[in-house]
Structure 1
Amino acid sequence: MKYKYLLLPLAAVSATAGIAAAHVFWVLLLFLLYLLFIIVKTKQYAPVIVCLVSFCVYFFLYTVCDAANVTRYQAGSYTEQAVITNIPKVDGAKMSAVIRTHDKEKWAASYKIRSLEEKRLIEQLEPGMRCTFTGSLEQPAHATVPGGFDYKEYLYSQQIHWLFSVTSIQQCEKSKQPLFKLLNIRKNLISIIRNHVPESSAGIVEALTLGERFSIEDDILSAYQNLGVVHLMAISGMHVGLITAGLFYALIRIGLTREKAGILLLLFLPVYTLLSGAAPSVLRASLMLGFYIAGTLVKRGIHSSAALSLSYLLLLLFNPYFLWQAGFQLSFAVSASLILSSSILKKAGKSRLAGLAMASFIAELSSLPFLLYHFQQISLVSFPMNMVMVPFYTLFVIPVSVIGFLLLLLSRQMGECLFGMFDLVMKPVHDFITYAASVDLFTMIVSKPDFLSLLLLAVSVFTLFAALEKGGFLKLRKSALFFCAVLAYLICRPYFSPWGEADMLDIGQGDSLFISAPHRKGTVMVDTGGVIAYPGESWKEKRHPYSIGEKVLIPFLNGKGVKKLDALILTHADQDHIGEAGVLIKNHRVKRLIVPVGFVKEPKDQNILNMAKENNIPVAEAKRGDTITAGDLQFQVLSPESSDGRSKNDSSLVLWTVFGGVSWLLTGDLESDGETEVLKTYPNLKADILKAGHHGSKSSTSEAFLKQLQPEAALISAGKENRYHHPHEEVLDRLKAYSVNVLRTDISGTIQYRFKKGAGTFSVFPPYDIEETRAQEVKKTAD
């Protein structure tokens, strides 16, 4: 049959369409167009039948799996005998693990450790242990800020529906199941690396040998991600190939035949897959290599495209939710592109350098749509960095990591000696990586593309590949121009939009407001939020502390396509308003910093100003009567008039502005005394939208203030179930008495106002996450 080598790839594409159609039904129309193309192109029945069968099988598979992906439990307190299914993670005073109940449902469990002695006991928990857990179930929440990580969707894809807050763990018994034995071996191997490899290199060694990234420092991992070389830290085809080739060579050297060595490798691959964490890239590489080895053993070769397609189909058959994982998508997309571009790679010539350059170029292009969709940023130096780092990792880092790891198992002293020298090499390399990642010019931010933009980009990439394969300068030039035009459109898309927006971000107990003018003529962030840290014992310190700036603000700005804010305005120096300013400054996301006169009330407040100066960011002090301008956005400063050493809150920067056809009053943490002072100075002050002061504290938003302003709506930024009980009932009663509509981040998530030509509307994010308790709270507030 002429098209028999295409049957498996066609089935893989159809399987993708089947799962996607089960999730978003209009994909069925695209599949029908695809099927029509196959009919016209092949004029044969077999490819069409294969496509239809694959589409139907995976459509119904996903439908059935999704229908079964439900919970039998309700929120409340439970005592449950459950099995720990993964390696428990202990970070500071928190332990997290996935546990499986008696009826096979999985919960994401967490436990707050109370003492150092208890922490040592908790660290002895192992995969497979059956323990009696007591605690309470609560539902995970969707991301409440656009661009943020959607933990609820992630858990859903893992078939987990509950967060289990554990209060006690008792009566633990070990398991004898082979799978858990392997996981315990992995846990012990990770422990060996952490105890005997220098801390600055342990994370790299763990990642390259056992697929564990927990020990990698946040700055190092972020630098690799920003430069587009983070794939080097994931066990993939290159790593599995090098390790398997080394093992095969060793088996041949000790006298085994090729056939026996091949059989042993087939047994080794699933074991190594489990030991290395079974990430999508490892599963793909191991399956493909297993098919190659099996084909060799039975004297029947298998084509790379068939091996890749078969691996893809099997993994989706095992877990159709894999399709939505970024790692799965990138691993198969890059692999498929390299296989389909084999003729292009051959044209690159016999030079290894030319072949590496072309392979890197193909990988960069094929991953671009996925990177822009998931992360909204690309590195402009990714190509040259890969040209340098891929050979360095292939020839030095991976071999030394594997050899050193094996030496540690044989002789701790020899392994430590080798890794000591390894660390001396890696430290300057990581210094260079972090420096390169800090160069602002090397990173490009693109707003999250919609489906049509993504499709257009994918088509432009495909046409560029086709031109490279067929050759011809004219075709290549046209394709390159088309690709560049699409990329330029994606970069400039926000500047074409006539819509402006204001977003009161749900960052917990704090304040952060983002404002963007139409056509991106001005972007401002007022305050950044921040977590108030209390001093504690050293054993409670987290290796990976949560950062609102890294996890919420930067992903939000990336999704909007904002590389740098025109201005960052800090209303006053409380931690819950300025705590993440340092993150934005260090990541070069700010053009100008504006603070109120008398901003520094205590020595630590000076740190932000010093950091801005170190990063060459101009700092301006604002006082009453000033006008702050950022593009088309203008803010009148109403307070403070001068430095007030008595109160940080009443020294807050108070701003009045107009956009979207309404006037806004932003009050920071202004309290009643400060409100009185503002009213005395501006007796005719009015505002349609009031950002309620001090998170709805009873010491703010006085009756006199509301009577004068006559706002139509009030925005309150407060953390859910916060310890301060913000907003206070007195404030809510006052707002109700003056018929003011209240929008709260602790109930509704991010409050969004989108406007165009002097008119706008309010909405909330996420619009779909309106659970019964949340709806009741909204009703209670409205009543």
Structure 2
Amino acid sequence: MRQRALFFCGLYMLSGLVCASQFVNSARLGCGLLLGFIIVGILPVFKNKAYYKLVVTGLLFFITGFSWYLWIEKHNVSILPDETNAAFAGEIQSAVMFDGDRCKFILRIHVLNGKALEVPELVQTTIYFRNEASRRQAEKVLSYGATLSGKIEIERPAPPTNPGAFDYPTYLHRKHIHRIGKIWDVESLSYGHAPIGFTGLMMSWQKKLANRAFELYHPTSAGLLSGMLLGAVDRVDPELYTTFSSLGLTHVIAISGQHITLLVVALVYVLRLFGFTRERSYLLTACLLPVYVVMTGSSASAVRALIMGELALFALLMRRAKDGWNLLGASFLCMALANPYYIHDVGFQLSYLVTFGLLSFVPPLMRKLPFKRDGVRGLAAVTLAATLVSFPLTIYYFHVYSFLSPLVNFLFVPFISIMIAPMAAISFMLGMIHPAFGFLPAKVVDTLLLPVLQLLDKAEEWRSFRFVFRSPSLFWIGGYTFWLLFLLGWLYDKIALNWKNVMIFASFSFLLFGTLFISWERKGVTITFLDIGQGDAIVVETPRNVVLIDGGGPLPEGNKKPWQRRRDPFNPVKSVVMPFLYSRGISTIDLLVLTHGDSDHVGGMPYLLNHIRVKQAMVNGLPAKTEIEAEINRLFKEKRISVRKAEQGQVWREEPEIVWRVLNPASAPSSTGEDNANSVVLLLQAYGVRMLFTGDLEKDGEQRLLSEANIGRVDVLKVGHHGSKSSTSENWVNYLKPKLSVISVGKKNRYGHPHREVIARLAALDSIILRTDICGAITVYVRDGIVIYRTFGKSTACR
């Protein structure tokens, strides 16, 4: 322990930071953790009194971490108003990301409404462009350090409104940002050119190199290489990024220790070729590393690798022995003191965890693995070690894990590191002199890389190797940690490999992983009305099946000009529905119901069909009228999904107490030809509770069902057509008498939904009215004839 004092001091400080982060949310939990960590922290003294000084020093670091986090949290506040339209003056403090008819950056405001702020504040800002000329002008003048003044609309960032959604306000808070800003009148802005500075110069070079990459390479290769070598992750094709994420390859794109190690080796090798001494090669490399890290965006994982790399090079210069554990501890102490919020960064956590795993597991694995060649054995050891330690964190945050990931990493990482990265770097450097110089190596890279990316895309579609997990409990993660320690004990020959220990290890492994893979039967029925804006997305979970009714879709892009179109427009299926399903551990949809063909109900279905297994689909049977509907029909055939045409009178039972009935469409489609009139309407009867899902059915259809379907009263009503005036007629409401009415509707939508007359009709019956625009996602639990609801949003206007 004394030989690796920096590492253990880092552990003590980490413990203090964790305790403080929990203390902020719950004083009781924070104090409990504080007491527990202090008790664990003094245990080494009872083992060996010689550790007394180390433990005392560690406890000082523990107290420092605890106090430092609380001090930062106390002062991490804003004095800006919650909402305002104001005149401002400030400067840009980040790279400027252009995407279609908008751009985003971090703005530091130091003047608001003519008054200088005591402390300048950071605001996450978006500029919206009305025409192409204003965007071109902005591209010329907006960069890191540029000054701006004009009018800005400031507001608080909206909290998440769906389970499993990304917590944007917390993310910004940990970057010391408390407000978001919108600039609509770009023509009224006054610009000032950015002064020449190191950070701005590096960001400018990153942009120039990324732009040159798109001149040299195929767009897919250019985006990947820009992210991989330059840190310009926003240039990576969204579908390719999804593929890499699914296969556990995002570390290839994120600047991390692997990139820094390769860069150090390459720089030292090249400098030695040019005749530099070993010491001067180390010194020049140490000077160039910060330049590269700043140019690539200074991510947490990159900064960690930079600090460790600089310390290792310094040790080589001083001809001192370097210890990986002390380097890891020293880098953590530096980063924690610079910004204690780093401990919440997923990239930071994975970076340190994987480095810890490599230091712990690779040496014994190199001795144990049976491969004859050192290179193969080393690569296998690194892949296995990284997989073992990153697995729990991966499923905790991302829920999806492909068991092809270790094999893909074993094959793809050396291919990209040894063959692609060096040639791509050469083509980038030559291309900056003139594109013609970088043309040949770029074409070689394209020829090698593009077929491999196509293979990865095919591998990502092999769903049998991909599993979806709910976030494991901290108790499970503790059990996994114990499992890893047992494995380490065997690898380091501290635990004998006899039949008793093997049986204990095998039994514990079965119990540990069995709890992940065994699907416990759900009790009762859970219905979640997701907040996807203006559209419908309803997930029904019964004891045996998962039913998804619609899913919303992105806004139509067809009427937008090419310069206005975004690289990755908001798709509620991708951003809301899929994260929710994954957070629930759902990997298969047993029945997908498409009520009708409107884009706000089915526009996102192609993405869903390409990324999750669907066993069966139910449609209204009308011919496709739009490109989206045609694409959905094509995917049904391609994925071999059984398609059932919904007709009035169809009934099926999941179990005696759970019955589904189709009420609409009638066997003969409505003569109006409107999709709304032919919406699939379902009645679910579960444990004595009746729930009606109406799609966009309108008044005429409602009247017809009242005379044909013998519906009866319902307990839960999904209000038709987002609460429009054309639906939810007085006769309909008076007949159904719903106790709970749910309206799926977008906030401040242009249609004025829900209509005040609809709200009045429902309120007159004392029906509880829940709206997704106010309440966020709405979850209804049905157990033994009892209906319980919960809203995810925190609005006081929601009852």
Q: TM-score, normalised by structure 2?
A: 0.92
Deviates more, 1:120-129 or 1:471-480: 471-480
Deviation string, structure 1 residues 705-732 (Cα, Å, up to 9, x no partner): 1111111110001011111111111111
Cross-structure match for 1:608 = 632
Displacement of 1:38: 3.0
Say how many residue pairs are matched: 767
Given that residues 228 and 378 in structure 1 are in contact (C-alpha distance below 8 angstroms), is that contact kept between their aligned partners in structure 2? yes
Cross-structure match for 2:534 = 509
Cross-structure match for 1:115 = 131
In structure 2, what is the Cα distance between the partners aligned to 1:410 and 1:636? Answer: 69
Shift of the 171–388 alpha-carbon distance from structure 1 to 2, 3 Å rule, reads closer
Q: Which of 102, 107, 111 is equivalent to 1:99?
A: 107
Given that residues 361 and 381 in structure 2 are in contact (C-alpha distance below 8 angstroms), is that contact kept between their aligned partners in structure 1? no
Alignment pair present for 1:47 and 2:47: no
Deviates more, 1:303-312 or 1:642-651: 642-651
Shift of the 33–513 alpha-carbon distance from structure 1 to 2, 3 Å rule, reads farther
The 5 A counterparts of 1:69-88 are: 69-74=76-81, 75-88=83-96
The 5 A counterparts of 1:436-585 are: 436-470=459-493, 472-474=496-498, 475=501, 478-492=504-518, 494-498=519-523, 500-518=525-543, 521-534=544-557, 535-585=559-609
In structure 1, what is the Cα distance between the partners aligned to 2:492 and 2:271? Answer: 40
Q: Which of 661, 666, 689 is equivalent to 1:641?
A: 666
Secondary structure at 1:114 match in 2: coil
The 5 A counterparts of 1:284-683 are: 284-348=304-368, 351-470=374-493, 472-474=496-498, 475=501, 478-492=504-518, 494-498=519-523, 500-518=525-543, 521-534=544-557, 535-598=559-622, 600=624, 605-629=629-653, 633-642=658-667, 643-646=669-672, 647-659=674-686, 661-683=688-710
Alignment pair present for 1:235 and 2:260: no
Deviates more, 1:754-763 or 1:506-515: 754-763
Deviates more, 1:114-123 or 1:357-366: 114-123
Cross-structure match for 1:132 = 149
Displacement of 1:604: 5.3
Cross-structure match for 1:728 = 755
Cross-structure match for 1:59 = 66
Secondary structure at 2:471 match in 1: coil
In structure 2, what is the Cα distance between the partners aligned to 1:244 and 1:415? Answer: 23
Secondary structure at 1:86 match in 2: coil
Given that residues 362 and 381 in structure 2 are in contact (C-alpha distance below 8 angstroms), is that contact kept between their aligned partners in structure 1? no
Displacement of 1:612: 0.8
- The residue type paired with residue 655 of structure 1 is L
In structure 2, what is the Cα distance between the partners aligned to 1:645 and 1:15? Answer: 72
Given that residues 537 and 577 in structure 2 are in contact (C-alpha distance below 8 angstroms), is that contact kept between their aligned partners in structure 1? no
Q: TM-score, normalised by structure 1?
A: 0.94
Deviates more, 1:172-181 or 1:646-655: 172-181
Displacement of 1:530: 1.3
Given that residues 448 and 558 in structure 1 are in contact (C-alpha distance below 8 angstroms), is that contact kept between their aligned partners in structure 2? no
Deviation string, structure 1 residues 339-365 (Cα, Å, up to 9, x no partner): 122431331466321221122111101
Shift of the 619–337 alpha-carbon distance from structure 1 to 2, 3 Å rule, reads same
Alignment pair present for 1:208 and 2:259: no
Q: Which of 178, 182, 187 is equivalent to 1:165?
A: 182
Displacement of 1:337: 1.0
Alignment pair present for 1:34 and 2:40: yes
Secondary structure at 2:663 match in 1: strand
In structure 2, what is the Cα distance between the partners aligned to 1:399 and 1:693? Answer: 58
In structure 1, what is the Cα distance between the partners aligned to 2:659 and 2:552? Answer: 22
Cross-structure match for 2:115 = none
Secondary structure at 2:614 match in 1: coil
In structure 2, what is the Cα distance between the partners aligned to 1:217 and 1:537? Answer: 20
Shift of the 42–186 alpha-carbon distance from structure 1 to 2, 3 Å rule, reads farther
Q: Which of 728, 731, 735 is equivalent to 1:704?
A: 731
Given that residues 660 and 760 in structure 1 are in contact (C-alpha distance below 8 angstroms), is that contact kept between their aligned partners in structure 2? no
Shift of the 117–603 alpha-carbon distance from structure 1 to 2, 3 Å rule, reads closer
Alignment pair present for 1:177 and 2:197: yes
- The residue type paired with residue 66 of structure 2 is F
In structure 1, what is the Cα distance between the partners aligned to 2:426 and 2:517? Answer: 45
Given that residues 661 and 760 in structure 1 are in contact (C-alpha distance below 8 angstroms), is that contact kept between their aligned partners in structure 2? no
In structure 1, what is the Cα distance between the partners aligned to 2:609 and 2:671? Answer: 26
In structure 1, what is the Cα distance between the partners aligned to 2:503 and 2:623? Answer: 56
Cross-structure match for 1:754 = 781
Shift of the 367–564 alpha-carbon distance from structure 1 to 2, 3 Å rule, reads same
Displacement of 1:185: 2.6
- The residue type paired with residue 771 of structure 2 is R
Displacement of 1:588: 3.2
Secondary structure at 1:594 match in 2: strand
Given that residues 348 and 355 in structure 1 are in contact (C-alpha distance below 8 angstroms), is that contact kept between their aligned partners in structure 2? no
Displacement of 1:628: 4.3
In structure 1, what is the Cα distance between the partners aligned to 2:55 and 2:379? Answer: 37
In structure 1, what is the Cα distance between the partners aligned to 2:84 and 2:707? Answer: 52
Displacement of 1:600: 4.1
- The residue type paired with residue 407 of structure 1 is L
Deviates more, 1:470-479 or 1:130-139: 470-479
Deviation string, structure 1 residues 159-190 (Cα, Å, up to 9, x no partner): 11111011233232322333323222322232
Cross-structure match for 2:767 = 740
Secondary structure at 2:335 match in 1: helix
Shift of the 296–532 alpha-carbon distance from structure 1 to 2, 3 Å rule, reads closer
In structure 2, what is the Cα distance between the partners aligned to 1:577 and 1:206? Answer: 36
In structure 2, what is the Cα distance between the partners aligned to 1:444 and 1:345? Answer: 27
In structure 2, what is the Cα distance between the partners aligned to 1:504 and 1:540? Answer: 31
Cross-structure match for 2:289 = 269
Displacement of 1:28: 2.1
Shift of the 612–267 alpha-carbon distance from structure 1 to 2, 3 Å rule, reads same
Secondary structure at 2:234 match in 1: coil
In structure 1, what is the Cα distance between the partners aligned to 2:411 and 2:591? Answer: 37
Alignment pair present for 1:245 and 2:265: yes
In structure 2, what is the Cα distance between the partners aligned to 1:158 and 1:408? Answer: 35
The 5 A counterparts of 1:179-194 are: 179-194=199-214
In structure 2, what is the Cα distance between the partners aligned to 1:49 and 1:365? Answer: 33
Secondary structure at 2:215 match in 1: helix
Secondary structure at 1:495 match in 2: coil
Shift of the 458–633 alpha-carbon distance from structure 1 to 2, 3 Å rule, reads farther
Provide the identity percentage: 29
In structure 1, what is the Cα distance between the partners aligned to 2:727 and 2:174? Answer: 44
Displacement of 1:396: 0.4
In structure 2, what is the Cα distance between the partners aligned to 1:682 and 1:107? Answer: 55
Alignment pair present for 1:22 and 2:20: yes
- The residue type paired with residue 717 of structure 2 is L
Cross-structure match for 2:116 = none
Displacement of 1:64: 0.9
Given that residues 650 and 671 in structure 1 are in contact (C-alpha distance below 8 angstroms), is that contact kept between their aligned partners in structure 2? yes
Displacement of 1:34: 2.3
Displacement of 1:754: 2.8
Given that residues 239 and 398 in structure 1 are in contact (C-alpha distance below 8 angstroms), is that contact kept between their aligned partners in structure 2? no
Alignment pair present for 1:224 and 2:244: yes
